[in-house]
Amino acid sequence: MKHLHIAAASLIAGLVLSTFAATATAFPIPERLEFELSYTGITAGRAVQEVKLVDNGIHIVSTARSADWLRFIFPVDDRIESFLTSETPAQFIGTPRLYQERKHEGKTITNREARFDRQKLEVTTIDHRNKNEKKHVITKRTYDTLSSFFYFRTVPLQVGTSYYIDIFDCKRLWNTEVKVLRREELTTPLGRFKTIVIQPLLKSEGIFARTGEMFIWLTDDDRRIPVQMKSKVIVGSITATLTGGSYWSARPVN
């Protein structure tokens, strides 16, 4: 049960394509996605991710909370935010300038942020609880673990192809392989959908922690709405399933 937070955060996981310039039709903004988290079939929590336009940039917020019955065993109360500024008209999702995470997971409490400097190609991380600050070198196409997934949703995907992506998780920069496995029809409480299945080969110690195999089902259309994510843990698996929100409706299969 200690890995409950991984399921919620995986929905807005750390993915960024560092090698692609072409983009597909983008998802609409504002957008709100609501998910149910379950462990071996038992509801364990809820997660919400939202993206909005603010000033001249984009604000993404992800929250995750454990179910009432689990709060006495392993409480989870997370809020993760990413602020982005578009650098060129062609770059729809923009690039991160500030990433913040405040997480309470069991006995672990985290309060830290990352400030990106694209001119110097470096990021400054500040740990507010431990009172320390560090600088790290980044690449031109580095995203944080929250905003990167939204960029990934704007990129065309080809089955059988691997993409190598840069993720900064507030500790270090990871170059991660993401496999596009197959197309698959998936049935959820919202209906049956045509999806494309991806598998990140995870290294990061941040949102996509190294706990086992992970698979994400995205709608096989321009919107790339995440309708399900499954992460294997030591015993069983954790599943996050889209249950509602405000977005371009993913079209169920007739």
pLDDT of res. 113: 97
For residue 150, give the nearest of 29, 252, 45, 238 by alpha carbon. Answer: 29
Q: What is the pLDDT of residue 231?
A: 85
Q: Do residues 21 and 41 touch, judged by C-beta distance below 8 A?
A: no
Q: How many residues in total does the chain contain?
A: 254
SS (H, E, C) 72-94: CCCCEEEEEEEEEECCCCCCCCC
Q: Parse the chain into domains and list their residue ranges.
A: 4-242
- In 3D space, the residue among 124, 12, 141 whose CA is nearest the CA of residue 64 turns out to be 12
- For domain 4-242, give its CATH number from 3.40.50, 2.60.40, 2.20.25, 2.40.360: 2.40.360
pLDDT tens-digit series, residues 171-196: 889 887 889 999 999 999 999 999 99
pLDDT at position 207 = 37
Q: Which residues pair with 242 in a beta bridge?
A: 35
- Stretches where the chain sits below pLDDT 70 are 1-27, 86-92, 202-212, 234-235, 248-254
Phi, psi of 18 (to 5 degrees): -90, -5
Q: What is the pLDDT of residue 57?
A: 87
Residue 253's pLDDT is 57
Residues 65, 76: Cα–Cα separation, whole Å = 5
Average of per-residue pLDDT values in the chain: 81
pLDDT at 212: 61
Q: Residue 87 has what pLDDT?
A: 54
| Res 140: pLDDT | 87
Alpha-helix runs per DSSP H in 118-245: 147-152
Q: By three-state DSSP, how is residue 52 classified?
A: strand
State how far the Cα of 165 lies from the Cα of 192, in Å rounded to an integer: 30
Residue 249: the pLDDT is 53
Per-residue pLDDT at 5: 41
Q: Residue written as tokens 């997370």?
A: 78
Whether the CB-CB separation of 115 and 101 falls below 8 Å is answered with no
- Strand-strand pairing, 214-219 and 191-201: antiparallel
So what's the pLDDT on residue 201? Answer: 82
